[in-house]
A and B are shown apart, each in its own frame.
Chain A
């Protein structure tokens, strides 16, 4: 199920991570699109426009099936903030689509809608 990374995470047992994490995002820590840890992403299969590096290819390989931002980050072993930047690049180039990318409500008085809660409840009940 899980795609194998082309080159595996760039780790060395003795030295740790060989490439400093923010190097792969050109030092950027701000994604241009709003991705949360639980945003679902998927590669579109469209040919990408723009110049992408190895890490972009790794992200694409990991999201051939719908997958969360957190899972992509965990499997690449880079901070989620870096993956968000890479995903933003790919989304802008049309290579990746994201699910719900609305900013999460910061105010908890904005309650989740009842349909969502009931769908979650029904899904959990099937697991009993």
Chain B
């Protein structure tokens, strides 16, 4: 009731928490379509400056060959509640930008790897990256018109996925379909968290 100075900074804890999910997969697999269908804003693009260790092996006086480069990142936004906002970041599809995934994936909750059954090999790189970094992900098979429909298990075998990695079917153009994929990812995160989160088999009650 006693109103304080109207210039008081607002407390930081009322600001929503931003959460990042990566949308990965090969070029042309539907990442942009997926983000567009889900985003409540016109998808935006920002440039992020990233460090690349040069592939060149020439080294003078032990100086490492590092270069910075800027890469455009497309992203969309879903406001989930007054305190949580989800951001979907599309990962650059070209191989020459893979070095930046490390920085992009920092702090990410998890990833969706989109796959096209006509070109499954285009999603190998993303699967490999997230597996090696221990970043949880789901594989979402984008069911393109005219593409042969495969069962999830066939895709799992073809991509050599571990049993716990969910494989789901989706239509990247349809918002509800995308929401279901994100739900599958979050459920996967909750499941893996409870199965690995404790050293004992006892459920942890206290934080």
Contacts and interface: CB of A to CB of B under 8 A. Distances in A.
Nearest to A79: B47
| Residue in B18, B41, B85 whose Cβ sees the most chain A Cβ within 10 Å | B18
Contact of A123 (B84, B106, B196): B84
Interface in A93-127: 94, 97-100, 104-106, 108-109, 111-114, 116-127
B190 A123 contact: no
Interface stretch (B74-82, B90-98, B145-153, B156-164): B74-82
A80 B48 contact: yes
A5 interface: no
Interface in A52-94: 66, 68, 70-71, 73-75, 78-81, 94
B87 A38 contact: yes
A112 B189 contact: yes
Q: How large is the interface on A (under 10, 10 to 19, 20 to 34, 35 or more residues)?
A: 35 or more
B186 A120 contact: yes
A40 B179 contact: no
Contacts of B83: 119
B198 to A, nearest CB: 11
A114 B190 CA distance: 7
Closest 4 CB pairs of A and B: A123-B80, A104-B107, A38-B18, A99-B15
Interface of B: 6-13, 15-20, 41, 44-49, 68, 70, 73, 75, 77-78, 80-81, 83-87, 89, 106-107, 109, 133-136, 175-176, 179-180, 182-183, 186-187, 189-190, 192-194, 196-197, 207
24 contacts: A36-B18, A38-B19, A71-B46, A71-B77, A74-B44, A79-B46, A79-B47, A79-B70, A80-B49, A98-B15, A100-B15, A104-B106, A111-B196, A119-B80, A120-B80, A120-B86, A121-B187, A121-B190, A123-B78, A124-B80, A127-B78, A127-B176, A128-B179, A128-B183
Interface of A: 29, 36-42, 44-47, 66, 68, 70-71, 73-75, 78-81, 94, 97-100, 104-106, 108-109, 111-114, 116-128
